[in-house]
Structures are given as structure tokens and as C-alpha cells.
């Protein structure tokens, strides 16, 4: 093998080994059976599966294969920053300027392990996801929001109980993002969250 | 929402909730840091990332987005069957007729939770992966074999120690599959596995 090919492969493998650490980043959400907290690696896998299965919920023009790629890499920054739960700090920590700055520094370090062409591709996809402006990113964000809702519904409340979340807070923090990317999906889910929150 | 649309979504979500159980299926391989065994959900995520990062190692004509889809769903049958380690039973259990039969029954049950069009699509992709005849499946299999090799190299031997694997057994059971789908990648990895096995 030519030395530059070997150096390229070494960079690719160093990145893939570093990425393994995402399996040790714990989220607030539990598994569907409530047995333990979910990690961000398996969460990212589940979202890729959501994208394949729920492709028919996306807007016309959404390219599902780009959505899958975004979802596979969207949480890698958490290797350095950790997961910031949506409902923590009364909904104020997730997406805050402080969190965003730390995540950008993490993205530069982690994607910087890759050969430059791949690093630039990953950075662009991650920033597109974070900005949530393109149709692909809007759908990816909707899936990222709906998967924990399903886990909470299945496990008897989950983070809603832990963070004293109300039905209105759920609609504002989560439902709005799901409705934007997958309105029929939110209709279906909201019927079920209302039953949960309205239960005596 | 029309009743048939709602029924379709209910089937899609039932499948996605069932898929969550893959996060509780433990593999023989550990995380790169050796801290615990890897589960098949996070393993599947890592492989999707491998496919994106190592696309330049695939043969001409390989469609990486199909490879990613195959890798995302390739282990779902383990929800019913569990993981059968490559090196267990002296290399005889993985891929045995008994295992294959049990996995087919599992695929029918699990993919059968989906709406019929999606269920058929998943079954076809999974069977293509298992048959390892198309270029896409051959590359996907190569990645599925190389990721545990990297984990073992990083964690000081891992399942090679546990199952008393020799360098020749590794070449036969694993190396041949990697070399078939990604020959340059196997050259790079084999240099490192030889250093491991030849170390005094």
C-alpha cells in the first residue's frame, strides 16, 4: 500500500475508534422497557431505523439517505460535551449559546480526526442538521424529537416524570419540531401523549 | 387522519418499539475501551458509521446508501435469536443451519410487524446481506467483520483471548470475508493483527 493511502486509512480508523466512545454517553431517556438509560450510540442507530421506516412521513423532496447520514453522525459531539436533555434546566439548557459553542469546538476536534475531505463533509452535514433549515434537516430533527416521546410513552412517563413536564411544555419544546417535519406523525403521537397527560 | 393511515402508522411504530429490544442483546465483543460488552444496537450504529467513513474502500459500483440500510437492519433477528459469536463453538455455531433457520423465523416475525410493503423490503435487504453475493452485501459483510477486529486490537485481545483464537483461525473466519469486500482494508488490519499475534 502507498504510504499516503495507509496514512488516510489510519486517520479513518482513528476516527472510528474515537467514535466508539459515543456508546458510553448516557441520555436522560430510558430504553422502551425502562430497564436503563439509553446511550447516544444506540439512540443514533434507532433514529436511522426510524428514518427508513417512516420515510413516507417526510415532505416531498426529502432525501432519506441524507437524513440517515445526518442522524448517524448528529450526536458525535456528545463524546466531548455529553447529552443535554431537552427538559433539563426547565427547557433552557438544550440549544443554549453555551452548549452550541461547546458542541462546535467538539465537532472541530472529532471531525478533525478524519482525512480533510471527509472531515469537511461531516462538519457540513452536522451543521445542516443543527441549523434545521433544509427539508432534510427538518425531518431529521423531527425524528430525533419523536423517538424519546415514544420511549416515555412506552415506559410510563420517563423523563416527563423526572423533569415534571406538562403537556403544554411537551407541545412547545418537542411537538412543534415534530409537527414541522412530520405533521401527520405528530397528530398520531399527540393523541397518545394527551391520553397520557390527561389520565387521572 | 384516515383510519388506514393511522393503522399503517401504528404498525410502523409497533415495529420501531420492538426494535428497541436490540439494545439489550449483548455481543461477545467489548467496547474499544474494554469496559463492557457491546450491544447489537450500538454495534449496528457503529457499522453504519464505518460504511460512511470507509466508502472509498468499496468496490466500484457499490451503493453505500444501500449498504448503510443493510447494516442498520442486519442484526434485528437477534432480538429473538441472540448474538452467535463468530469464534464460539470453535467457529462452528455462527452461520450454522440451525442458526440460519432460527434467524429466518425471527425475520418473518419481526419484519412481519411492519406494513407489508416495508416488511417485504426489509426481508429482501436482510436476505441479500445474509447471502453475501451482491457487491453491496459483500462490502457490508466485510465491515461487519472488521469492526470487532478493531475492538479486539484496541482492548488487548478481547474475544481472541476468550475463545483461544489463533492468527490462522482469524484469517480463515474473518480475514477472508474482509479481504473479499475490502482488500486494502484487510491489508492494513492484518499488519496489525499479525503484530498482536506475533507479540511474545
CA of A164, closest CA in chain B: separation in Å?
Answer: 24
Tell me which chain B residue has its CA closest to the CA of residue A25: B42
Q: What is the mean pLDDT of each run of 10 residues along chain B (200 residues)?
A: 89 98 97 97 98 98 98 98 91 89 98 98 98 98 98 95 94 96 97 91
A200 pLDDT more than 80: no
- Cα–chain center distance at A43: 7
Q: In the A/B pair of chains, how many CB contacts fall below 8 A?
A: 132
Bridge partners of B30, per DSSP, are B37
Q: Which of A53, A76, A186 to mutate against chain B (most B CBs within 10 Å)?
A: A53
Q: Which of A50, A56, A44 is nearest to A83 (CA)?
A: A44
Q: Which of B49, B113, B115 to mutate against chain A (most A CBs within 10 Å)?
A: B49
Contact criterion met (CB < 8 Å) for B16 and A65: no
According to the model, what pLDDT value does residue B1 have?
73
B151: cell is: 475492538
pTM above 0.90, yes or no: yes
Contact criterion met (CB < 8 Å) for B52 and A69: yes
State pLDDT tens for residues A81-117: 999 999 888 888 888 999 999 999 999 999 999 999 9
Contact criterion met (CB < 8 Å) for A49 and B9: no
According to the model, what pLDDT value does residue A188 have?
97
- Tally of CB atoms within 10 A around A95: 14
Contact criterion met (CB < 8 Å) for B46 and A118: no
Report the distance separating Cα A198 and Cα A168, nearest Å.
12
A1 pLDDT more than 80: no
CA–CA distances in Å: residue B174 to residues A51, B189, B192? 31, 11, 14
Q: Where are the beta strands (DSSP E) in chain A?
A: 26-30, 37-39
Q: Rounded to 5 degrees, what are φ and ψ at A85?
A: -60, 140
Pairing status of strand A37-39 against strand A26-30:
antiparallel
A148 pLDDT more than 90: yes
Q: Compute, in degrees rounded to 10, the torsion defined by CA atoms B19, B39, A142, B73.
A: -50
Length of chain A: 200
Give the mean pLDDT of chain A.
96
Report the distance separating Cα A167 and Cα A178, nearest Å.
15
- Tally of CB atoms within 10 A around A69: 26
State pLDDT tens for residues A2-59: 888 999 999 999 999 999 999 999 999 999 999 999 999 999 999 999 999 999 999 9
Q: Compute, in degrees rounded to 10, the torsion defined by CA atoms A178, A180, A182, A186.
A: 50
According to the model, what pLDDT value does residue A21 have?
98
Interface confidence, given as ipTM, is: 0.97
Amino acid at each position: 500500500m502507498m504510504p499516503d493511502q495507509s496514512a488516510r486509512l489510519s486517520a479513518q480508523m482513528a476516527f472510528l475508534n474515537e467514535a466508539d466512545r459515543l456508546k458510553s454517553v448516557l441520555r436522560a431517556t430510558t430504553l422502551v422497557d425502562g430497564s436503563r438509560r439509553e446511550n447516544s450510540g444506540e439512540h443514533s442507530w434507532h433514529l436511522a431505523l426510524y428514518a427508513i421506516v417512516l420515510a413516507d412521513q417526510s415532505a416531498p423532496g426529502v432525501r432519506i439517505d441524507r437524513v440517515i447520514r445526518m442522524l448517524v453522525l448528529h450526536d458525535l459531539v456528545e463524546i466531548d460535551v455529553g447529552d443535554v436533555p431537552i427538559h433539563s434546566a426547565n427547557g433552557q439548557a438544550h440549544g443554549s449559546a453555551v452548549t452550541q459553542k461547546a458542541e462546535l469546538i467538539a465537532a472541530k476536534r472529532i471531525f478533525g480526526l478524519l482525512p480533510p475531505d471527509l472531515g469537511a463533509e461531516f462538519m457540513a452535514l452536522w451543521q445542516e442538521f443543527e441549523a434545521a433549515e433544509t427539508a432534510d434537516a427538518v425531518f431529521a430533527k423531527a425524528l430525533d424529537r419523536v423517538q424519546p416521546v415514544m420511549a416515555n410513552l412506552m415506559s410510563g412517563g420517563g423523563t416527563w416524570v423526572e423533569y415534571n413536564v406538562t403537556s403544554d411544555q411537551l407541545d412547545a419544546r418537542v411537538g412543534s419540531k415534530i409537527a414541522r417535519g412530520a405533521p401527520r406523525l405528530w397528530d398520531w403521537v399527540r393523541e397518545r401523549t394527551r391520553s397520557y397527560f390527561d389520565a387521572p
